[in-house]
Amino acid sequence: MESVVGMPVGRVFAGDESLPSGRFAIVVSRFNQTITEGLLRGALETLTTAGVAPDDVDVFWVPGAFEIPLIAKRLATARCHLAVLCLGAVIKGETTHDQHINRAVSLQLAEIGSQTGVPVLFGILTCNTVAQAVARSAPTEIIRNKDQSQGKVGNKGAECALAALEMVRLLQQINRVFGATPTDGNCGQNIPGEPRGRS
């Protein structure tokens, strides 16, 4: 028996196992490229620091954020990658154009992940100003050396990669215990070395 928040539970799955071998896909928008390149750099640094070989990362450039879901769906459906990271930057203008893009892209990416079972990560900035976008795509050295006067500084590309790594590990745990697909009918009760679950 394990515990979580000080309470006993049967098992805890937290995506904290070793990383399985496989490839990662990054779909990144060329629009606002000075921003998206920062997101891409943060994602790549995070993946390689976690032990992902550079040769195991494929980068797909698309014109803008609106085109990301099409490529993400193609990649997730092919199941050649452990996860698909989606990076872009939509900055508010004088009209509501940004709202329509943000809503359409976010809903589609969530649906692709749930339909395919492949983690599809939302690393698309939805900012009111360029300054906000710059602060959320900062280089590692700036994040490391920031002080309180700099306020909100980070890299959403790096955060997206961290989430991808955790989801890949978590799915590996779930597949090992419960089976690779929901139709396997395995509720984790007959896995060697694992606690028996309820049937």
Are 69 and 124 a contacting pair, CB within 8 Å? Answer: no
Residue 198 pLDDT level (bands cut at 50, 70, 90): very low
Arithmetic mean of pLDDT, 63-71: 96
pLDDT in tens, 157-170: 999 999 999 999 99
Question: Residue 7: pLDDT above 70?
Answer: yes
Q: What is the pLDDT of residue 44?
A: 97
Q: What is the pLDDT of residue 100?
A: 77
Backbone φ, ψ for residue 103 (5° rounding): -65, -45
Question: Residue 58: pLDDT above 80?
Answer: yes
Residue 199 pLDDT level (bands cut at 50, 70, 90): very low
Q: Which domains does the chain have, with CATH numbers?
A: 21-169 (3.40.50.960)
DSSP-derived secondary structure for 48-76: HHTT--GGGEEEEEESSGGGHHHHHHHHH
CA–CA separation, 15 and 160 (whole Å): 15
Q: What is the pLDDT of residue 190?
A: 45
pTM beyond cutoff 0.85: no
CA–CA separation, 143 and 114 (whole Å): 33
pLDDT in tens, 177-190: 888 665 444 455 54
Residue 47 pLDDT level (bands cut at 50, 70, 90): very high
Residue 113 pLDDT level (bands cut at 50, 70, 90): very high
List the catalytic residues: 97
Arithmetic mean of pLDDT, 68-86: 97
Question: Residue 8: pLDDT above 50?
Answer: yes
Classified as helix, coil or strand, 5 is: coil
